[in-house]
Amino acid sequence: MRFGLVSSVHDQIIRLFLAAGQNNCTDTDPNILSGLAFQGSDVPSFDAGQYSTGLDALRTAYVCSGTISSYYIGTGAPDASDMNGTIDSLHEHIFRLALLRASRRPQPPTLAQWMGDFVNGKVEQTGP
């Protein structure tokens, strides 16, 4: 079995969900999953650095298995096309125009190429 993971290095939506589970799920604030990310605010209860550190730890722990492919999107990612410079915190990338652009290999593959490679059995780590 192989596993493919695509994530922004500071994904605000996933951080919202992770924030609700902190402290052994003792936070009962009903507003924890409010529209913070949708309004362009940060997720103060789950630090962006903590999230990116967790992504790196996940990759490090499983890359030796040869079964995980990861595509991490940061400001230097091949699909970084957001005009506000916040691509590293956005969620959902498959609809972005950069997905369709041809990559200049041997540069990192576009998200579309990475997905095709993954479906065809290639295991690779892309992104920061």
| Residue 48 · residue 75 · CB < 8 Å | no
Per-residue model confidence as pLDDT tens digits over 28-87 = 666 655 555 455 455 556 778 888 899 999 999 999 999 999 988 876 554 444 455 566
Greater model confidence, 26 or 120: 120
Burial annotation 3-23 (CB, 10 A radius, 16+ → b, else e): ebebbbbbbbbbbbebbeeee
Structure confidence at residue 127 as a pLDDT band (50, 70, 90): confident
What are the residue boundaries of the structural domains of the chain, listed by start?
Answer: 3-126
Per-residue model confidence as pLDDT tens digits over 15-25 = 877 777 777 77
Q: Among 3-7, 55-59, 62-66, 89-93, whose mean pLDDT is lowest? A: 89-93
